[in-house]
Amino acid sequence: MSLNVEHQSVRTLPSEKPIRLLDNAGHAVHGAAAGGFELPELDTLLELYRRMVIARRFDVQVTALTRQGRLATYPSAYGQEACEIGAISAIEARDWFFPTYRDSIALLTRGIEPGDILQSFRGDWHNGYDQHAHRTASQATPLATQALHAVGLAHAARLRQDPIVTMTYLGDGATSEGDAHEAFNFAAVWQTPTVFLVQNNQFAISVPLSRQTRAATLADKAVGYGMPGYHVDGNDVAAVYAVTRAAVERARAGGGPTLIEGLTYRIEAHTNSDDPTRYRLARDVEHWKRRDPIERLEKYLVSEGALSESMRAEITDAAESVAAHTRDLMTVEAEIDPLELFDHVYARPRAALLEQRARLEAELADAAIHAAQPGAAQPAGAAR
């Protein structure tokens, strides 16, 4: 079988008004505005609600821990829960996910332990979870680079005839990077089963979307590559889920990649070291807070009689226990082994690294001796 298939190029422009299945008041949307998509079943929406509530509680907790100095940094996704949770919920355990630094709550939904997610932000090691076990790549920091990995892995899976899909998230700023272009193009040319979710939270650190692109929507970019593009209300988890789910199903059936833009807003700072008052108005933040993705779904579920008080209490409890667990993990000092620095650079041992490891080991032993002698406190580096 050759994968080198002829395919139809896609020329349909995404809608300028974002696709929406629930409006801001929590009412179901029908007709053209829904873009031909159906509101998911109540059970699905309830599960999405639960995941979003837990995700937000986690995010708020980690932000607080970061302010207390427990983590070196944390990029919050507060306000972006519909994108983060809606899309990741559309793929399966066998599929692969390629996240960025911003997407910790998607990892939580993927079943990764809080301590493992936060290991890199705490500063213990660059990545804390087993990528193979969770079929989830390391959170990428260099922008848009991970999108190419998602395409490559998807292509390898196709060569092996494994029916898996890869999903990757990018920010609006990241779409300006060359690697985003290369990833979209490779995916379209190779027709890989890849779903690109652009979370347009309207800022790349301080730079607004208007300084990033002249395209009417980021989803428009899909057309130039010959793949379908969708412009979606990124604060409507029902819409994000329905559109990504359709893209995942098409990809799995051999229909190639899809580019989805979720229009959302980052409520928190870029990271804890950012000062957003320098580049955006409190008024705008308030405006977007009133379009909260969790409240919107909650209104709908309550109006449908699908969310009882006892369910709400149970979900709150679950969220609190994730937060408490996270607090407990982050208040314990991590055990680190400096000698491990040398252990994972190459598969094949290197003489020069073994020498350097021995040197550090001797320094540490010296430092331990000095520490044991009262009044002889010396920094490790000075011990000769």
> Annotated active-site positions, please?
266, 270, 279
For residues 13 to 52, the per-residue mask of contacts with other proteins, x marking binding by CB under 8 A and - elsewhere, is: ----------------------------------------
Q: Which stretch binds ligand TPP (CB under 6 A): 17-25, 136-144, 243-251, 307-315?
A: 136-144
- Number of Cα atoms under 13 Å in the Cβ half of residue 356: 11
DSSP per residue, 288-317:
HHTT-HHHHHHHHHHHTT---HHHHHHHHH
DSSP conformation class of 242: H
> Could you tell me the smallest distance in angstroms from the CB atom of residue 35 to other proteins?
30
For residues 162 to 181, the per-residue mask of contacts with ligand TPP, x marking binding by CB under 6 A and - elsewhere, is: ---------xxxx-------
- Determine, following the binding rule CB under 8 A, whether residue 347 of this chain makes contact with other proteins: yes
Q: Kindly list the distances between the CA atom of residue 235 and the CA atoms of 78, 108, 366, 374, in Å, as whole numbers in the listed order.
A: 11, 19, 57, 60
- Determine, following the binding rule CB under 6 A, whether residue 204 of this chain makes contact with ligand TPP: yes
Do 229 and 220 meet the contact criterion of CB atoms below 8 Å apart?
Answer: yes
Q: Which is nearer to ligand TPP, 207 or 341 (CB)?
A: 207
Per-residue tokens: 217 = 């929507």
For residues 131 to 160, the per-residue mask of contacts with other proteins, x marking binding by CB under 8 A and - elsewhere, is: xx----xx-xxx--x-xxxxxxxxxxx-xx
Q: What number of chain residues touch ligand TPP (CB under 6 A)?
A: 14
- Determine, following the binding rule CB under 6 A, whether residue 263 of this chain makes contact with ligand TPP: no
Among 61, 166, 192, 201, binds ligand TPP (CB under 6 A): 201
Q: Kindly list the distances between the CA atom of residue 383 and the CA atoms of 10, 189, 361, 375, in Å, as whole numbers in the listed order.
A: 67, 59, 12, 14
> Could you tell me the smallest distance in angstroms from the CB atom of residue 154 to other proteins?
7
Do 139 and 127 meet the contact criterion of CB atoms below 8 Å apart?
Answer: yes
- Determine, following the binding rule CB under 8 A, whether residue 112 of this chain makes contact with other proteins: no
Q: Kindly list the distances between the CA atom of residue 74 and the CA atoms of 83, 95, 104, 195, 332, in Å, as whole numbers in the listed order.
A: 18, 26, 9, 25, 18
**CA-to-CA distance for 319 and 225, rounded, in angstroms?**
41
- Number of Cα atoms under 13 Å in the Cβ half of residue 221: 23
> Could you tell me the smallest distance in angstroms from the CB atom of residue 159 to other proteins?
6
* Residue among 279, 247, 124 at smallest CA distance from 116: 124
> Could you tell me the smallest distance in angstroms from the CB atom of residue 185 to ligand TPP?
18
Strands 229-233 and 194-200: unpaired
> Could you tell me the smallest distance in angstroms from the CB atom of residue 178 to ligand TPP?
9
Which stretch of DSSP H or E encloses residue 195? strand 194-200
Q: Which is nearer to other proteins, 86 or 226 (CB)?
A: 226
Q: Which of residues 178-197 bind other proteins (CB under 8 A)?
A: 178-179, 182-183, 185-186, 189
Chain positions contacting other proteins, by CB under 8 A = 1-4, 125-127, 130-132, 137-138, 140-142, 145, 147-157, 159-160, 166, 178-179, 182-183, 185-186, 189, 340, 343-348, 350-352
